[in-house]
Copies of this chain bind each other. A is one copy, B any other.
Amino acid sequence: MKKINTSPISGMQELLPAEQATFDRLKNKIGEVYHRHGFMSVETPVIDRCEILLAKAGGDTEKQIYKVVKTAEAQDGADQALRFDHTVPLARYVVEHENDLKFPFKVTQIGRNFRGERAQKGRFREFYQCDVDVIGRGELPIYYDVDVISTLLDAFGAFELGTPVRARISNRKILTGLLEGLNLQEKAEDIYSIIDHAEKVPAEKTEAALTEIGLDENEKAKILAFMEIRGGRAEVIEPLNALGVGSELLMTGIAELNEVLRLTEADGRGPQVVADMKIVRGLDYYTGTVFEFNLPEYPGVGSVCGGGRYENLAGYFTDQKLPGVGGSIGLTRLFYVLNENNLVKSQETKPIDFAVVPITEKELEFAMKVAQDLRNDGKVVTVVAAGKKLGDKLKYAAAIAACGIVIGENEVATGEYQVKEFN
């Protein structure tokens, strides 16, 4: 009988061994794909200085960050908290180790981050993020935007979900330039937010919201026309030029988007990529390419990956300009929604190849030898030494392993044994 509540804290993921094996398989696949694309792994501490983590805080961060109390034995040093993403600690890392890194620095971080959000179904307070970033020094060619998007698409490819994954791409310079050209800079935050929410509300609501913030008919028409621009390179570049708004930034944005689309096409990813002006991704931070991945056949799943280009990784920490582009798979949430939609194949075979079952203690030594020989051949093997009756041992063996090997007197005498496949 339980003496205490043993459930994990609300908002924490805790998996049974078979689920954990599936989760680990996805995590390892992501790591392999990232590595194959030339990204080097880095781990920053989970606990960092508040001064670093909150350098550019605001918004939800301050409300969600977990502060850590100094312990009785470790009273030294600054105020501390748990990292809430990989980007801020990476900025600190790159500045701290700048002289030891090669730029462009292609880096991956796979680990848990922490946000004490309001409890909500499918939201987690501890969650894995699997990030890739390319950090330049001074400048960074637009090729790396494509590098990041292709790498993330390959990671999803490795999952073998059996349903297409689509990258929706835009460029923040286009929208910012458009608002400049229309003299709407002061309403930029409102407009970003309206576009960002447009897919979640009926079209009339979006139009009403634009009216509400004081746009005239012409401005509204331009914004609404902009938002509808969507498709492959052939379908979007012409309409974007046809917006007929004079802005250099807009033109730069269109040229960058064109180049990203051209190179992703050349990289054979055309069918997986679509330009979509509804992609905004938050109010600040991103300054060029922005993207989100979704599963077109599962609209309810929403965005499964996002990222973009930022002008300066570490402006709060250094004068050195460090432009970058990155993206992140939020694996804990992704695993949850994929399972909800039956999109994750669980481990098809049992995780243990062989369970070696000595009938009595007398056969234990030989069973251990059989097991170790099989391990030396790369097999996953366990010896079943617990349980009074052979029947109990075999039941346990069948529950955990794909095959069983029973070792009795005969097997010891002859040195030969039979492999029984469990069903």
On A, residues with C-beta under 8 Å from B are: 1-17, 20-21, 24, 35-38, 40-49, 51-52, 55, 60, 62-74, 76-78, 80, 82, 92-93, 95-97, 100-104, 106-107, 112, 114-119, 125-126, 136, 139-141, 143-144, 146-147, 150, 154, 263, 266-268, 316-320, 351-352, 355, 364-365, 368-369, 372, 375, 378-383, 385-386, 396, 399-400
Q: Enumerate chain B residues within 8 angstroms of A41, measured Cβ to Cβ.
A: 17, 20-21, 24
CB pair A73–B316 under 8 Å, yes or no, is no
Given contacts A4-B316, A382-B106, A400-B102, contact A71 B77 (CB under 8 A): no
CB pair B36–A117 under 8 Å, yes or no, is no
Q: Enumerate chain B residues within 8 angstroms of A139, measured Cβ to Cβ.
A: 386
Count chain B CB atoms within 10 A of each CB in A35, A48, A74, A364 and give the residue with the most: A74
Q: How far does the alpha carbon of A16 sit from the alpha carbon of B42 in the complex, in Å?
A: 7
Q: Which of B13, B48, B52 contacts A4 (CB 8 A)?
A: B52
CB pair B43–A20 under 8 Å, yes or no, is yes
A387: min CB distance to chain B, Å: 9
Write 26 A-B pairs (CB below 8 A) sorted by A numbering: A1-B319, A2-B95, A3-B317, A6-B92, A6-B95, A9-B47, A12-B45, A12-B47, A17-B101, A37-B382, A38-B383, A47-B66, A47-B114, A47-B125, A47-B126, A64-B71, A71-B117, A73-B116, A73-B117, A73-B118, A74-B118, A141-B385, A266-B368, A267-B369, A267-B372, A268-B372
Q: Enumerate chain B residues within 8 angstroms of A150, measured Cβ to Cβ.
A: 372
CB pair B71–A43 under 8 Å, yes or no, is no
Copies in the complex: 2
Q: Enumerate chain B residues within 8 angstroms of A319, measured Cβ to Cβ.
A: 1, 3
Count chain B CB atoms within 10 A of each CB in A36, A52, A400 and give the residue with the most: A36
Q: How far does the alpha carbon of A316 sit from the alpha carbon of B70 in the complex, in Å?
A: 27
Of chain B, the residue at the smallest CB distance from A265 is B365
Give 8 A-B pairs besides A3-B316, A46-B114, A47-B125 with Cβ atoms closer than 8 angstroms.
Answer: A2-B95, A6-B317, A6-B318, A17-B101, A36-B379, A47-B126, A139-B386, A267-B372
Q: How far does the alpha carbon of A5 sit from the alpha carbon of B77 in the complex, in Å?
A: 12
Q: Enumerate chain B residues within 8 angstroms of A147, measured Cβ to Cβ.
A: 383, 385
A56: min CB distance to chain B, Å: 11
Q: Which of B17, B42, B317 contacts A107 (CB 8 A)?
A: B17
Q: Enumerate chain B residues within 8 angstroms of A80, measured Cβ to Cβ.
A: 9
Q: Enumerate chain B residues within 8 angstroms of A70, measured Cβ to Cβ.
A: 116
CB pair A82–B68 under 8 Å, yes or no, is yes
Q: How far does the alpha carbon of A297 sit from the alpha carbon of B3 in the complex, in Å?
A: 48
A67: min CB distance to chain B, Å: 4
Given contacts A37-B382, A386-B103, contact A368 B267 (CB under 8 A): yes
Of chain B, the residue at the smallest CB distance from A48 is B9
CB pair A15–B43 under 8 Å, yes or no, is yes
CB pair A14–B263 under 8 Å, yes or no, is no
CB pair B63–A97 under 8 Å, yes or no, is no
Of chain B, the residue at the smallest CB distance from A103 is B386
Q: Enumerate chain B residues within 8 angstroms of A118, measured Cβ to Cβ.
A: 73-74
Count chain B CB atoms within 10 A of each CB in A68, A97, A126, A146 and give the residue with the most: A68
Of chain B, the residue at the smallest CB distance from A138 is B386
CB pair A71–B116 under 8 Å, yes or no, is yes
Q: Enumerate chain B residues within 8 angstroms of A101, measured Cβ to Cβ.
A: 16-17
Q: Which of B1, B9, B74 contacts A119 (CB 8 A)?
A: B74
Closest 8 CB pairs of A and B: A38-B382, A71-B116, A74-B116, A12-B45, A143-B385, A17-B40, A6-B96, A63-B72
Of chain B, the residue at the smallest CB distance from A100 is B16
Given contacts A38-B380, A380-B36, A386-B140, contact A69 B72 (CB under 8 A): no
Count chain B CB atoms within 10 A of each CB in A24, A73, A378 and give the residue with the most: A73
Given contacts A1-B318, A2-B95, A126-B46, contact A263 B9 (CB under 8 A): no
